[in-house]
Amino acid sequence: MGLDFTEKAGYSSRQVAWAAFALAVGLLALIGYLGYRATKRLVASEQLISHSREIQTLLEDIRSDVLQASNARRGFVITGDDYELAGYLTAVRELPAKLDRLQASTADNPSQQKKVLALRAVVENELSFINDSINLRRNIHASQRRQNELTHQGSKLVSEVFAAISEMENEESRVLAQRRTQADVNYRHTIRVLSGASLMAILLIFINFYQLNRELRQREEAERLAQERLQLINAFFSSSTVGFAILDPEFRYQRVNDVLAQMAGLKPEDLLGKLLPALFVGQGQDLEKVLGEVIRSGAAVLDRAIAIRIAGESNELRHWMLACFPLRDSRGQITRVGFIALDMSAQHNAEAAYRTLSSRLLRLQDEERRRIAREMHDSLGQYLTALKINLEIASNAEPDKKAELLAEAASLAGNCLVETRTLSHLLHPPLLDEAGLSSAARWYVNGFAERSGIKVEFNLAENFERLPLSVETAIFRVLQESLTNIHRHAHSPAAEIDLHLNGGRVNLAVRDFGSGIPEDVLQRFLRSGTTGVGLAGMRERIFELGGRLEIRRENPGTGVYASIPIGKMQSSGESAA
């Protein structure tokens, strides 16, 4: 509720914290002042009570001294021994000082001051009569009657002293009762003040604890959200398939993901802290212009295509699609800039390769047509010309000569049929349509092994079923091209072929044990597919059917692996068609 209130009222957490601090200081000052006043009043009350008790003690001492002086006189009058006068002498020595203290102690009470003066006079008279009685006792000629009179007068004076002291004690008891009552009131007031102060302190502590706990929860929540954002950014950086980079205003790399570093053939740590041109070969101006435009305008720049040469590459031109965007701080100021790079080189090269492939296919088609025309002219055409000449001669020849010419014409016709079948098999094996991929592949592999002298191990399931014609044709052409490359380039003594169905896919693996595909050719094929018409043609056939084509260097040799999904397609309908 507190957080909602502060948000609705428009107060920031800092303002709330300062307000709570000011309130705490004010409450502590008020608590201290009230505690000081209550304690001071309580101490004053206790001091007054102590003062009254001190007066009562002085009165008791004066009574005791007067009584001691009177008893000392009596003892001396009876015994005549000066030792009996010790109490009198002590009283004579101490009573003036005690009366002075009593007068000073009752200075705040005029009524008691008057009573102290009367008490002093009575005490002094008593001491004077005691002194006269002592002197009379020392005079051996003194009369006993005079001594009795002094004793009677001294008893009256002692009674007056005791009466005066009792009157003062009663007054002090009354004052003490009042002061105790006031002290009790002050004590209860002090208890209430201190209790209230304690409650206020507890409330203040609770408020501060609540505020601190709320701030800690907010901090923990902020840290959790920041950690989640950081983990999200890290996951996005690490798992993204495009290149990411964040740069400071001077275009120094602050963060680079693995994909961007790999696009440049480097590691992320090789770029951190370096300037933007560290990624390029003297061609960072285009990207710097784009990023400068983002900083100046504060708007993102999307789908900006640039062509650059990457540092560390073999001087190969790369084509990137960029999206640049500003990064702002909490005040809205642009403090960093980021860019996303998508390497379009493969697509660009694929398009170029497609155009090159189309052009080369047209040329090869023309060359194939010329070759077929030449083959037909040099072989089939010669046989047909000879056949035509023989038939023309036979039509006018003698009967015995006609039979020989017809036999020769039949032989020429047979040669024409063989040549026609040979050309047909080379252009498209009839077994592929009639018996399916398994028979056509086995026929072609056996013929390849006989013609090339390469030992081929062919693994094919006995119950290999018919597939869609497009799939069978693509797999057969990949097999045909792979064996042709082995014969032309691999110089391998043997080859292994595996053809099987698994999980709704047809898989072909062709492996040789020769010199292996050159690394630069393989890397160029993996990046762009621009290596040659044969490999590019295989790749296009497989990709068109949604399949995969992989070429890997083996130890030794090269492996070609093709996989095409056959899904729920049925081969019967297509093959029948």
187-200 pLDDT, tens digit per residue, is 787 788 778 777 87
353 phi-psi bin (left φ>0, alpha ψ -120 to 50, beta other) = alpha
How far is the C-alpha of 484 from the C-alpha of 240, rounded, in Å? Answer: 40
**Radius of gyration in angstroms for the set of CA atoms belonging to the chain, rounded to a whole number:** 63
Which residue is listed with tokens 């296919």?
Answer: 361
**C-beta atoms surrounding 130 within 10 Å:** 27
Helix (H/G/I), strand (E/B), else coil: 25:
helix
If asked whether residues 88 and 201 sit together in one domain, one would say yes
How far is the C-alpha of 133 from the C-alpha of 151, rounded, in Å? Answer: 7
Domain assignment present for residue 235? The answer is no
The residues near 548 (Cβ < 8 Å, ≥ 6 apart) are: 542, 561, 562, 563
Domain assignment present for residue 183? The answer is yes
Q: For the domain that residue 483 is a member of, what is the CATH number? A: 3.30.565.10
Q: What would the pLDDT profile of 113-141 be if each residue is shown by its tens digit?
A: 888 888 888 888 878 878 887 887 777 66
Is residue 286 a contact partner of residue 251, using CB atoms and an 8 Å limit?
no
Q: What would the pLDDT profile of 379-431 be if each residue is shown by its tens digit?
A: 667 777 877 787 878 777 777 777 777 777 788 787 777 667 666 655 666 66
Band of the pLDDT at 510, cuts 50, 70, 90?
Answer: very high
Band of the pLDDT at 281, cuts 50, 70, 90?
Answer: low
- Which residue, among 220, 227, 238, 106, has the nearest Cα to 172 in the 3D structure? 106
Band of the pLDDT at 576, cuts 50, 70, 90?
Answer: very low
If asked whether residues 180 and 75 sit together in one domain, one would say yes
Q: Is the peptide bond prior to 556 cis by the omega test (within 30 degrees of 0)? A: yes
Domain assignment present for residue 567? The answer is yes
Band of the pLDDT at 574, cuts 50, 70, 90?
Answer: very low
If asked whether residues 303 and 155 sit together in one domain, one would say no
If asked whether residues 162 and 261 sit together in one domain, one would say no
How far is the C-alpha of 185 from the C-alpha of 48, rounded, in Å? Answer: 14
pLDDT at 467 over 90: no
Q: In degrees to the nearest 10, what's the CA dihedral of 229, 230, 236, 238?
A: -170
DSSP H helical segments within 285-344, as ranges?
285-297
Average pLDDT over the chain, rounded to an integer: 76
328 vs 368, residue with greater confidence? 328
DSSP one-letter code for 464: P
pLDDT at 577 over 70: no
pLDDT at 498: 92
The residues near 157 (Cβ < 8 Å, ≥ 6 apart) are: 122, 125, 126, 129
Q: What percent of the chain has pLDDT over 70?
A: 79
Distances (CA, A) of 495 to 179, 449, 482, 515: 122, 10, 10, 13
How far is the C-alpha of 25 from the C-alpha of 394, rounded, in Å? Answer: 135
Token pair for 278: 């560290």
If asked whether residues 160 and 97 sit together in one domain, one would say yes
Spacing of C-alpha 129 from chain mean position: 103
Domain assignment present for residue 120? The answer is yes
pLDDT at 283: 52
β 243-247/334-343 pair status: antiparallel
Q: What would the pLDDT profile of 355-378 be if each residue is shown by its tens digit?
A: 666 666 666 566 666 666 666 666
Structural domain range at position 93: 2-216
pLDDT at 337 over 80: yes
Band of the pLDDT at 561, cuts 50, 70, 90?
Answer: very high
Domain termination residue (choose one: 382, 401, 424): 424
pLDDT at 354 over 70: no
Is residue 144 a contact partner of residue 116, using CB atoms and an 8 Å limit?
no
Domain assignment present for residue 26? The answer is yes
How far is the C-alpha of 312 from the C-alpha of 271, rounded, in Å? Answer: 12
Token pair for 160: 């007056």
Distances (CA, A) of 88 to 65, 101, 213, 294, 427: 8, 20, 78, 114, 160
If asked whether residues 420 and 544 sit together in one domain, one would say no
Spacing of C-alpha 166 from chain mean position: 87
Which residue is listed with tokens 């009795």?
Answer: 148
Strand order in the sheet with 301-309: 253-256, 243-247, 334-343, 317-328, 301-309
How far is the C-alpha of 119 from the C-alpha of 62, rounded, in Å? Answer: 10
If asked whether residues 185 and 37 sit together in one domain, one would say yes
If asked whether residues 487 and 397 sit together in one domain, one would say no
Is residue 271 a contact partner of residue 261, using CB atoms and an 8 Å limit?
yes
Domain termination residue (choose one: 393, 424, 455): 424
β 455-460/494-502 pair status: parallel
- Which residue, among 342, 341, 333, 340, has the nearest Cα to 249 in the 3D structure? 333
Token pair for 315: 């001087």
If asked whether residues 376 and 312 sit together in one domain, one would say no
pTM attached to this predicted model: 0.37
Hey, what amino acid is at 423?
L
If asked whether residues 288 and 413 sit together in one domain, one would say no
Domain assignment present for residue 234? The answer is no
Residue 264 burial (10 A CB sphere; 0-12, 13-18, 19+): buried
Q: For the domain that residue 284 is a member of, what is the CATH number? A: 3.30.450.20
Domain termination residue (choose one: 321, 343, 365): 343
Is residue 549 a contact partner of residue 543, using CB atoms and an 8 Å limit?
yes
Domain assignment present for residue 519? The answer is yes
Hey, what amino acid is at 15?
Q
Domain assignment present for residue 348? The answer is no
How far is the C-alpha of 437 from the C-alpha of 435, rounded, in Å? Answer: 7
If asked whether residues 199 and 164 sit together in one domain, one would say yes
How far is the C-alpha of 557 from the C-alpha of 221, rounded, in Å? Answer: 59
How far is the C-alpha of 47 from the C-alpha of 34, rounded, in Å? Answer: 20
How far is the C-alpha of 67 from the C-alpha of 154, rounded, in Å? Answer: 11
How far is the C-alpha of 63 from the C-alpha of 164, rounded, in Å? Answer: 10
Which residue is listed with tokens 């295509």?
Answer: 305
Phi then psi for residue 250, to 5 deg, are -90, 10
Q: What would the pLDDT profile of 226-269 be if each residue is shown by its tens digit?
A: 788 777 777 766 667 777 788 887 878 888 877 777 776 677 77
How far is the C-alpha of 127 from the C-alpha of 528, rounded, in Å? Answer: 136
pLDDT at 441: 86
If asked whether residues 205 and 294 sit together in one domain, one would say no
Is residue 96 a contact partner of residue 35, using CB atoms and an 8 Å limit?
no
Q: Domain count for the chain, please give it.
A: 4
DSSP H helical segments within 340-489, as ranges?
345-375, 381-396, 399-427, 430-434, 437-452, 469-485
pLDDT at 446 over 90: no
Q: Partners of 505 in the beta sheet?
A: 502, 565
Give 230's Cβ-side CA count (13 Å radius). Answer: 6
